[in-house]
A and B are shown apart, each in its own frame.
Chain A
Amino acid sequence: MTTTPYTMTPLRYRVVARRPDTADVVTLDLDPLGSPVQSWAPGQFTMVYAFGVGEVPLSVSGGEGHRIVHTVRSVGAVTAAICVAPVGTVLGVRGPFGHGWSLPDRGDLVLVGGGIGLAPLRPLVRTVMARRHRFGEVDLLVGARTPDDLLFTDEYDRWRESGISVHVIVDRAGRHWSGQVGVVTSLLDRLRLDPEITTSFLCGPEIMMRVIARNLTDRGLTAGQVQVSLERNMRCGYGVCGHCQYGPLMVCRDGPVTDYATAEPLMAVREL
């Protein structure tokens, strides 16, 4: 049985696996204890409740069947409680909410994930892998502050084997890092792009998405060919509490993924 996502009452999910990704990021596998939420699409988010502590929006980073996988960075009281939740903990889940990524039928793809922004792109990577033959060039650009902050590193080889070019760069290298150092934009500069057939998917800090999106549109992509995942204060998840307004958008309902044509004029206004 599934229920409408448009409710403030959570359904119960049990933590069945817990994998620390970095010093402050944890991936949790959640299975429903009773009724599951409706099936989700890559780029959508749920509201996850830690008993007695509170609720936060988390994008779905994977999961098959009724399983939901979340990759969480500990940044506040609620995410901290979720990050330390041991296997067996029961959490509340509402959702899934919002619009996810809009994957075209064919063409070249450029995915760009900065920091925790790789999490909502991971299910898209999985979808692309399953339909890899339909697409031409598929590039995934991954940026993180340090090598220790990189997410899902044990999956890069599998992604590469399926025909996705994975490019990794870090802001600051450690002693054992032999890869590239710099900002994600510099990876983009080295890509050969066919603007006619490329669709791009960006998730990361707003400033990163602006710079990348501008770079891509400068190179001939239309703003409609660039999708960005926006972040505001999502609370209810279905456009009735007002908190996540971003100009005309209710990010929870009209986003989090929108095209850059919609986002560009909003990102240009300070404190919007």
Chain B
Amino acid sequence: MVVLTGLTELVARLRAEGYRVVGPTVRDDAIVLDEIQSADELPYGYGVDAAPGRYRLRRRGDAAAFGHSAGPQSWKQFLHPPRRQLWTADRDGGSFTVTEPANPDERLALLGVRPCDLAAIAVQRRVFGEDSDYARRIDQAFVIAVNCTEPAEVCFCVSAGGGPRADTGYDLALTELANSRYLVEIGSETGSALLSQVVYAPAEPGDIATANDQIRTAENRMSRALPDTDLPGLLRRAAESPHWDDVASRCLTCGNCTMVCPTCFCTSVVDTTDVTGDHAERWQGWASCFDLDYSELHGGQVRTSGASRYRQWLTHKFGTWHAQFGQSGCVGCGRCVAWCPVGIDVTAELTALAATSDIDQPVPS
């Protein structure tokens, strides 16, 4: 393992190779993900105080670039864009021709992917499949993970299996040490090739132990956990639990949790025409299972009550995702807890359901 001092050269090298480098930066009092021109734009010295329904930047005592937890955005912003054109169509005599947009030849470099988000990328890849634009985008991307040494109060990646150490799915993985030094692990040949073009030093004695200690400390600082039980079974049994009404009495059905969730993938399409009626377009955009029209059928909506919509979100994420995609839909990043305007905490709701479902409920008929 080697050590980089500063990330200036790494970012410059990636840009020279034609990558569009996306990383964390400060905007509007939050750590957002955006294209950066240089490593100077990283959020040095910023930390985050997060709690249910709360997210505030704070100044750290050091100049750490990655001393903050997950922000309001995730990498799905770039890998599964909030809005994209699927095709355009033009009338052509009595028929019409459909044209798909050319695949952008853009190669992304994702700088600072936390292990929870790395796990989320793998979850979304599983949803969309290997023969998907998503898989192509991530395969073309250069991924620089950052092991988590700074969980937030809302995080629960350890119990969700999402972190705090990156195991796989990266080209390079960094662990931030003191004084802008980064311990680098190589995850791919692409990563190795890029690293060979920048100045690095061999790791000093103690660097690896320090990095491991920091990650272990992060693991031990995890203040939240999912209940240690069979969640798909629990949620199946709890389908008619009165607890859903309890959550619904607090939930605003705003859908924030689904927007910030790094694995939520639902989309709707909108078909439009211009004023001539001769040019049509189809756009795809993120959708939320909290939207009323999400479950629309010709006779109305299937899920009208807030309780049924909250049940759909929680049951899908922790229960039926297993049946659909062979794994959990949650990586424990804590975003849904922080960005819920009323501070609903999925770990607390699941724990409450687990407590009440010990009593065998009759199967409704």
Residues of chain A at the chain B interface (Cβ within 8 Å): 4, 6, 8-10, 12, 14, 33, 49, 51-55, 75-76, 79, 88-90, 92, 231-233, 235-236, 239-243, 245, 247-248, 250, 265, 268-272
A261 to B183, CA, bound (A): 54
Beta-carbon contact of B304 and A245 below 8 Å? no
- Contacts A90-B95, A241-B266 aside, 18 further interface pairs with beta carbons under 8 A come to A14-B95, A52-B272, A52-B280, A88-B94, A90-B96, A232-B297, A233-B297, A240-B128, A240-B132, A240-B265, A241-B268, A241-B287, A242-B267, A242-B294, A243-B287, A245-B320, A269-B240, A271-B308
Contacts of A9 in B (CB 8 A): 86-87, 98, 100
Contacts of A233 in B (CB 8 A): 294-297, 302
Contacts of B323 in A (CB 8 A): 248
The 5 closest A-B pairs by CB, nearest first: A242-B266, A271-B308, A248-B323, A52-B273, A75-B298
A54 to B273, CA, bound (A): 10
A243 to B324, CA, bound (A): 13
A247-B320 contact given A8-B282, A232-B302, CB 8 Å threshold: yes
Q: CB within 8 A of A243: which of B100, B266, B298, B363?
A: B266
- Tell whether B364 is near chain A: CB-to-CB under 8 Å: yes
Q: In the complex, which residues 259-301 of chain B have their Cβ closer than 8 Å to any Cβ of chain A?
A: 265-269, 271-273, 277, 280, 282, 284, 287, 289, 294-298
Q: CB within 8 A of B364: which of A12, A49, A76, A269?
A: A269
- Tell whether B89 is near chain A: CB-to-CB under 8 Å: yes
Q: List 27 A-B contacts (CB under 8 A).
A: A9-B98, A12-B96, A12-B98, A52-B89, A52-B272, A52-B273, A88-B94, A90-B94, A90-B95, A92-B98, A232-B302, A233-B302, A239-B324, A240-B127, A241-B268, A241-B269, A242-B289, A243-B268, A245-B320, A247-B320, A248-B323, A248-B324, A268-B365, A269-B239, A271-B305, A271-B307, A272-B239
Q: List the B residue with the shortest CB-CB distance to A92.
A: B98
Contacts of A236 in B (CB 8 A): 267, 269
Q: CB within 8 A of B131: which of A6, A14, A271?
A: A6
- Tell me the smallest distance from the CB of A243 to a CB of chain B, in Å: 6
Q: CB within 8 A of A55: which of B129, B131, B271?
A: B271
Interface centre among B127, B289, B297, B302 (most CB of A within 10 A): B302
Interface centre among A9, A10, A242 (most CB of B within 10 A): A242
A54-B87 contact given A75-B298, A233-B296, A271-B305, CB 8 Å threshold: no
A268-B363 contact given A76-B298, A242-B267, A245-B320, CB 8 Å threshold: yes
Beta-carbon contact of B268 and A10 below 8 Å? no
Beta-carbon contact of B271 and A250 below 8 Å? no
Q: CB within 8 A of B320: which of A4, A8, A75, A248?
A: A248
Contacts of A53 in B (CB 8 A): 271
A52-B86 contact given A76-B298, A241-B287, CB 8 Å threshold: no
Cβ contacts B125-154/A at 8 Å (1 or 0 each): 001110110000000000000000000000
> What total of chain B residues lie within 8 Å of the partner, measured CB to CB?
51
A232 to B312, CA, bound (A): 14
Q: How many A-B residue pairs have CB under 8 A?
A: 111
Beta-carbon contact of A8 and B308 below 8 Å? no
- Tell me the smallest distance from the CB of A151 to a CB of chain B, in Å: 17
A265 to B235, CA, bound (A): 13
- Tell whether B91 is near chain A: CB-to-CB under 8 Å: yes
A9 to B100, CA, bound (A): 8
A9 to B239, CA, bound (A): 37
Contacts of A75 in B (CB 8 A): 298
Beta-carbon contact of A242 and B287 below 8 Å? yes
A76 to B293, CA, bound (A): 14
Contacts of A245 in B (CB 8 A): 289, 312, 316, 320
Beta-carbon contact of A232 and B295 below 8 Å? yes
Q: List the B residue with the shortest CB-CB distance to A10.
A: B98
Contacts of B165 in A (CB 8 A): none
- Tell whether B303 is near chain A: CB-to-CB under 8 Å: yes
Q: List the B residue with the shortest CB-CB distance to A242.
A: B266
A231 to B297, CA, bound (A): 8
- Tell me the smallest distance from the CB of A47 to a CB of chain B, in Å: 10
- Tell me the smallest distance from the CB of A94 to a CB of chain B, in Å: 11
A235-B94 contact given A243-B294, A272-B239, CB 8 Å threshold: no
Beta-carbon contact of A265 and B363 below 8 Å? yes
A272-B308 contact given A8-B282, A10-B98, A12-B95, CB 8 Å threshold: yes
Q: List the A residue with the shortest CB-CB distance to B266.
A: A242
Contacts of B129 in A (CB 8 A): 6, 240
Contacts of A8 in B (CB 8 A): 86-87, 269, 282, 284
Q: List the A residue with the shortest CB-CB distance to B364.
A: A268
- Tell me the smallest distance from the CB of B232 to a CB of chain A, in Å: 8
A247 to B237, CA, bound (A): 12
